[in-house]
Structure 1
Amino acid sequence: MLDRLAHALRTVHPDRPAVLGRGRTGGTRVLIRRGELADLADRYAAALHARGLGPGATLGVAVRPGPRALAVLLAAHRLGLRAAVLDPTAGPDVLAARLALARPDLVLADAAAQAVAGWAGPLARRADLALPRLSALGPVATLGRRLPGCAPRLAVTGGAAPAPRDGGADTDAVIVFTSGTTARPRAVVHTREGLAAGLRTVTDLVDPRPGSTVLGGTFFVLVPALAAGAAVALPARRPRALAGQLARLAPAQTYLTPPALRAALGAGARFHGRVWTGSAPADAALLRRVKQAGADQAWGVYALTELFPAAAVEEAGKSAHTGPGDLVGAPLPGVRTGLTPEGELLLTGPGARHRYLGEEPDPWVRTGDRATLAPDGRIVLAGRLKDMVLRRAENIYPGLYEPALHLPDVELAVLVGVPAAGAPGDERLVALVQPRPGADPRRLRAALRGPLDRMGGARPDAVLFGEVPLAGRSRKPDRAAAAAHCARELSA
């Protein structure tokens, strides 16, 4: 599909808008046209080729979603590179560990992602953006506008792009980091074949139409929509602005996370066409509200980093489910399911990840979700088995951040999720810290400021001091009991 997209951008209405954004006065502006996006990808491919990057090399990408990020991924695909997606909000310690695992030959970062010190330090912290010092990253080049303190810009010229390099369907295409610990981060590896299968599944499910407008900002939205000849509008961040954007564009397809949907509805948004939501639980009540606000259909999509997408259900089907658990729908074509003896849901299919970086291939994905399977094969979730907190549609893995809390005056510390009021399936992230006997609470709280700041977008919503509950013969932290304790403390 990436090959088809690259061809379609240049040959199918190249003068039409490809990506739309919000103008300074609140209107809609064209960020890039279809032919311009194809040209930009060619220039990036030529620049990366000139840097000596070829098939099998790893390119780190720390660029905010938008035309530049998409053009970089198209360029990487053309050259046969594998792209390691680096999240600037993960915090410098976690990012340094991830970079040590992926070992990119070059990191492309925009100015915002590099804003960690000097003039941009306060701005970066407010935006939850933080990369390690540039010296820790290895070779770095700035993509787009360069600001003081940033690495040198990627030398982009008008030279001819190299011929496409195809290392085969089973070569690595992308690395996306997920769980693990700071000492042992974990990364999902998708091959070119697996990535193509996932994109085909999205296309068949959504069926974007030429000349229509699609609202959404993820890779799995941009590629199928643009390949079909649709224009993609990047969602506004503020709820009122998003509501105005929906009113102006009347998009045929809209992709928003459940928290974004709730915020938009709270701002009086009206919807059109079909609305899709995922990355966090979306109950039937939320989908009904979306349809009451004008949508023809409202779909919940069950997806994982390891397999996107896996299942989908429309509001009518979800509302008809009266049994226990959360119905997430029937497996999409090609997706197969299984259950472990403990009831953990297993998934596999053409779009499943090939392996975790540094590990052997395994076709079955352990979802970390407890589930049951209806007689007709539909998936009903019954809670999580993973130690994962889901806050505002972002997965936060405690093991990545808990080690930073273990200061000399800390006996034990855990990060747990507490249900967020008024948002089913959403959680608040709470740090429960058990001080060592005799520790001064004031001094300890002050000492924790540094580690908390370095968590970036995973900074806890609250920090509580108290005893961490233990369980079992091994006396491990009892996370369920800790979460219950934190919920009681916060409600009090």
Structure 2
Amino acid sequence: MLDTLAHTLRRHPDRPAVLGTTRTGAVRTKVTCGELAHLADRYTAALHTRGVGFGATVGVAVRPGPRALAVMLAVHRLGARAAVLDPGAGPDVLRARLALAPPDVVLADATAQAVAGWARPLARRARLALPDLAELGPVLTVGPRLPGSAPALDADVRTVALPPWADGDGDAVIVFTSGTTSRPRAVVHTRSSLAAGMATVAELVQPEAGRPVLGGTFFVLLPSLASGAPVALPARSTRVLSRQLRRLSPQATYLTPPQLRRLLAEGARFNGRVWTGSAPASAQLLTRVKQAGADEAWGVYALTELFPAAAVEQAEKTAFTGAGDLVGAPLPGVAAKTDASGELLLSGPSARDRYLGEAPDPWVATGDQARVDGGRIVLEGRRKDMILRHAENIYPGLYEPALHIPEVELALLVGVPAGDGDERLVAVVQPGAGVDPAALRSALEGPLGRMGAARPDAVLLADIPLSGRSLKPDRAAAARLAARHLAERSRG
């Protein structure tokens, strides 16, 4: 896919590649295909002259956009591997992670360097923190420099003969996921697994050349640009993003569930096909997206270890009446099974090769309790989220979909310690905009009554806390919220 993209950029140098949007929603070209190809060549030459080649490790702390994409193209051409540095992980965790894969060089934009340096106090308020980047290896700046920034990556590039494209398989990218300072975890994708994942995305979305796509993730950028479709990066402001949708009329849109909920509250209109993932997407949310104009609304089930694994369109998801969360049939090439405990295992060409420091394993243990029902994957809850009440195991994912009635924005089932080794089960329900609390409680009686032994001990109407870059529902914070509610209720 990266090879295809590189050739596409050169065949159509004047075609827009990455689009930007002003605060008024006006669309402009941030970079053309030719400019992106030239930038990737400069970065390739600069890294090559510094000795980066096949098997080297390049730490990357660059915000998503044209420069980050050019860096990935350069690293790929040289046969090196990119280790993605996440400012949200904290310096101690990041140091421990990179001890497994010390970078030969660190590429960082001025913002990342500021987070690690003079802007550290401000960054802490946003829960961003990096160690001094110089601790990790030689640092070079990608993009504009600020006072105190490291030297520019491509400052000394003159006319340099570019090296031939690296051939063969090998590590392509390292993405750090869970883990602690004592046992960090990092997903390693090879050039072949990355290519297989991108090919699956391209086959699923089928972007048409010349028509814009809205999305900011790497696996949206690559297949779209390789197909000749310009990509617009989503605006951070919900109001501007709504204008962006209206002006662009994108053929395909990829946004997270929290972004979709905020847009719907803003009264935004959609068109074409809308894709969402990174966090659970209920049938009700997909239905609202289609009611707001989308031709199709898809939920995508993907993991860092294997992307994408399955997808389901709103009509199929809404028609599903069984227990649990239907996420669709495994995509071509993906094999799915459950082990003796009911944990979902996935395999296929796009599966990660291994975790850094561990032996390769063709099967990915997802951490999801699930069943394969008629060839389709139905999630029953995260294994770590299991709640033990009255000596009975309760998996929230089995029952939460039933709580997503039209009046509900989001719903979680969480456990609160009862002080005797048992747990109390609480439904934390976020009402939709303008919904009357009394009417909502009445509407919930039906779904709650059908939950049988899993009926919650209490229902709390409140905004559900979100966390992480994808703004996933934060179960731990929701459980703390529920615990405070129960304590206040017992005192009252």
Give the TM-score normalised by structure 1: 0.80
Kept in 2, the 8 Å contact 1:290–1:298? The answer is: yes
Shift of 1:149: 3.1
> CA contact under 8 A between 1:129 and 1:457: conserved in structure 2?
no
1:348 paired residue number:
347
Deviation of 1:141 after TM superposition, in Å, equals 1.0
Paired residue for 1:446?
none
Task: Quote the offset at 1:158 in angstroms.
Answer: 4.3
Deviation at 1:159?
Answer: 2.8
- Check whether the contact 1:173–1:190 (CA below 8 A) recurs between aligned residues: yes
Tell me the amino acid that sits aligned with residue 159 of structure 2: G
Local SS of the residue matching 2:55: coil
In the other structure, the counterpart of 2:430 is 421
Match of 2:356, as an amino acid?
L
Q: Partner residue of 1:194?
A: 193
Q: Per-residue deviation at 1:387?
A: 6.5
Partner of 2:8: 8
Distance 1:421 1:222, change over 3 A: same
SS at match of 2:182: coil
Q: Distance in 2 between matches of 1:197 and 1:294?
A: 32
Distance verdict in 2 for CA 1:41–1:485, change over 3 Å:
closer
- The structural deviation recorded for 1:484 is 4.6
**Match runs of 1:71-470 below 5 Å:** 71-116=70-115, 119-156=118-155, 157-160=157-160, 162-169=162-169, 171-374=170-373, 376-386=374-384, 421-422=430-431, 428=465
Can you list the C-alpha shifts for 1:317-344, whole angstroms capped at 9, x where unaligned? 0000011100000000010011111110
1:489 aligns with 2:484: yes
Instruction: Tell me if structure 1 keeps the 8 A contact 2:279–2:472.
Output: no
* Secondary structure at the counterpart of residue 115 of structure 2: coil
| Gaps in structure 1 of 5+ consecutive residues | 391-416, 431-455, 463-478
Q: Which amino acid aligns with 2:145?
A: R
Alignment partner, residue 21 of structure 2: 22
Tell me how far apart the structure 1 counterparts of residues 96 and 57 of structure 2 sit (CA, whole Å): 16
Cα distance change, pair 237–419 in 1 and its aligned pair in 2 (3 A): farther
Q: 1:167 Cα deviation (Å)?
A: 4.3
Q: Secondary structure at the match of 1:337?
A: strand
Whole-Å Cα distance in 1 between the matches of residues 251 and 191 of structure 2? Answer: 29
**Alpha-carbon distance between aligned partners in 1 of 2:110 and 2:267, rounded to the nearest angstrom:** 34
Q: Distance in 2 between matches of 1:275 and 1:165?
A: 35
- Structure 2 counterpart of 1:428, which letter? P
- Give the SS at the match of 1:223: helix
Instruction: Name the SS for the 1:107 alignment partner.
Output: strand
Using the TM superposition, give the Cα deviation of residue 105 of structure 1 relative to its aligned residue in structure 2, in angstroms: 0.5
Displacement of 1:120 in angstroms is 2.3
User: What is the TM-score with the length of structure 2 in the denominator?
Assistant: 0.80
- CA shift, 1:124, in A, is 2.5
Classify the secondary structure of the residue corresponding to 2:186. Answer: strand
CA spacing shift, 1:348–1:151, aligned 2, 3 Å: same
Cα distance in structure 1, aligned partners of 2:93 and 2:472: 15
What is the deviation of 1:88?
A: 1.6
Task: State whether residues 92 and 130 of structure 1, in contact with CA within 8 Å, keep that contact through their aligned partners in structure 2.
Answer: yes
Counterpart of 1:40? Answer: 39
Q: Which residue is 1:451 aligned to? A: none
Structure 2 residue identity aligned to 1:377: G
Residues 97 and 293 of structure 1: CA distance in aligned 2, closer, same or farther (over 3 Å): same
> How far is 1:458 from its partner?
11
Aligned residues: 420
Tell me the distance in 2 between the aligned counterparts of 1:91 and 1:459: 18
User: Is the contact made by 1:112 and 1:124 (CA closer than 8 Å) also made in structure 2?
Assistant: no
Compute the displacement of 1:197 (Å): 0.5
**Gap runs ≥5 in structure 2:** 387-395, 398-425, 433-460
Matched-pair contact (CA < 8 Å) for 2:278–2:472: no
CA 1:160–1:259 in 2, change beyond 3 Å: closer, same or farther? same
Q: Secondary structure at the match of 2:329?
A: strand
Identity of aligned residues (%): 68
C-alpha deviation, 1:94, in angstroms: 1.8
The Cα shift of 1:134 comes to 2.8
Contact 1:418 1:428 in 2 (8 A): no
| SS across alignment from 1:301 | strand
CA distance in 2, matches of 1:140, 1:117: 12
- The code of the aligned residue for 1:268 comes to G
- Deviation per CA, 1:117-165, whole angstroms, max 9, x where unpaired? 6642344334443210133222111111111232222134343352334
Aligned residues of 2:25 and 2:247 also touching (Cα < 8 A):
no
The aligned amino acid for 2:305 is: E
Which structure is richer in relative contact order (CA contacts within 8 A, separation 6 or more)? Answer: 1
Deviation (angstroms), 1:385? 1.1
Residue type of the alignment partner of 2:482: A
Deviation at residue 220 of structure 1 after TM alignment:
0.4
SS at match of 2:17: strand
Q: Does the CA contact (< 8 Å) of 2:25 and 2:241 recur in 1?
A: no
Residues 211 and 102 of structure 1: CA distance in aligned 2, closer, same or farther (over 3 Å): same
> 2:106–2:133: 8 Å Cα contact kept in structure 1?
no
What SS does the aligned partner of 1:302 have?
strand
Shift of 1:355: 0.4
Aligned-partner SS, 1:150: coil
Cα distance, 1:115 vs structure 2: 1.5
Three-state SS of the structure 2 residue aligned to 1:310 is strand
Q: How far 1:419 moved relative to its partner?
A: 5.2
- 8 Å CA contact 2:24–2:240 kept in 1: the answer is no
Distance in structure 2 (CA, Å) of the matches to 1:168 and 1:128:
40
| Residues 295, 429 of structure 1: alpha-carbon distance in 2 compared, 3 angstrom cutoff | closer
Contact 1:42 1:161 in 2 (8 A): no
Would the alpha carbon gap of residues 57 and 337 (structure 1) be closer, same or farther in structure 2, given more than 3 Å must change?
A: same
Distance 1:419 1:115, change over 3 A: farther
**Separation (CA, whole Å) in 1 of partners of 2:121 and 2:114:** 9
Which deviates more from structure 2 when the two are superposed, residues 13-22 or residues 215-224?
13-22
